Amino acid sequence: MEKLLNGFITAVKGLRLTFKHLFAAGKTRKVIGIKEKNYFDQLGATTTIQYPHQKLPVPEVGRYQLDVEMDDCIVCDLCAKICPVDCIEIESIKSTEAIGQTSDGTTKRLYAAKFDIDMAKCMYCGLCTVVCPTECIIMTNTYDRSVPKMTDLIYQFSDMSAEDAQEKREAIAKQNAEKQAAKEATLNFVQKNLGET
């Protein structure tokens, strides 16, 4: 009989709590920043907000969607090397000459044939943004990326076509072949002149 009474009391306590939250659901939470004095006073309202019509303020140090400014990228590959989950994939092609400069004055000498970030793998640690020497990779305040397929979470930042990439590869291969031929010609000339003396 005592177990039955304890079960009844527990059920009443649970229902009382449920009804308290049910009737509190009519009140909606006001969207205010966490730095506001009365931020924690609104706990009596519902814990959710009317998304997407209402949105909570995004903290300044929030870690959300990655973005890359390719004009500032020197394709150093540091972000891909430090990534603990290998969600960044970069393919670089050496340039035959200086391509240009980044916004901080760094000379660009590599093309980004591929710069992909798989946000489905990303753990939002922010290490890639810390090691970037030109600060071209940043975390934005975008946090809602609902997509129907996982492959839609692979973001391709490089705008180089496959034909352009092949053209750049051929140009650097040709330049390397010319340098090697010049080096061999110089070596042959030196050997020939040394042999005659």
Report if residue 183 sits inside a domain: no
* Residue 20 forms part of a structural domain: yes
pLDDT at 153: 92
Bridge partners (DSSP) of residue 67 are: 138
Q: Regarding predicted confidence, which is higher, 148 or 26?
A: 148
74 and 119 both lie in a single domain: yes
Average pLDDT value over all residues in the chain: 84
Q: What is the CATH number of the domain that holds 101?
A: 3.30.70.3270
Q: Which residue has the higher pLDDT, 97 or 88?
A: 88
Range of the domain at 98: 66-165
Is this structure's pTM higher than 0.85?
no
Segment 124-140, tens digit of pLDDT: 999 999 999 999 999 98
- Give yes or no for residue 14 having a pLDDT over 60: yes
Distance CA 184, CA 181 (A): 5
70 shares a domain with 35: no
Mean pLDDT, to the nearest integer, of 148-162?
90
Residue 193 lies in a domain: no
Do residues 77 and 154 both lie within one domain? yes
Distance separating alpha carbons of residues 141 and 126, to the nearest angstrom? 13
Q: Which helix (H) or strand (E) holds 90?
A: strand 88-94
Same domain, 26 and 76: no
Low-confidence winner among 15-19, 28-32, 82-86, 113-117 (lowest mean pLDDT)? 28-32
Task: Write down the H helix ranges in the chain.
Answer: 2-24, 78-82, 127-131, 162-196
| CA–CA dist 103, 135 (Å, integer) | 10
* Number of domains within the chain: 2
Residue 138 located in a structural domain: yes
- Asked if pLDDT for residue 113 goes beyond 80, the answer is yes
Half-sphere exposure of 56 (CA within 13 A, CB side): 15
Tokens matching residue 92? 């670089």
Are residues 25 and 103 located together in one domain of the fold?
A: no
Q: What is the pLDDT of residue 102?
A: 87
Q: Is residue 195 part of a domain?
A: no
End-to-end CA separation in angstroms for the chain: 118
Closest to 91 in 3D by CA, of 110, 107, 108: 110
Each residue's pLDDT tens digit, 18-66: 887 777 666 666 677 777 777 666 655 556 667 777 777 777 777 889 9
The predicted structure's pLDDT at residue 38: 73
Residue 100 buriedness (CB in 10 A; 0-12 / 13-18 / 19+): exposed
Is residue 197 over pLDDT 60? no
Number of other residues whose CB lies within 10 A of the CB of residue 41: 10
The residue to which tokens 């090397």 are assigned: 81
Tell me: do 35 and 84 sit in the same domain: no
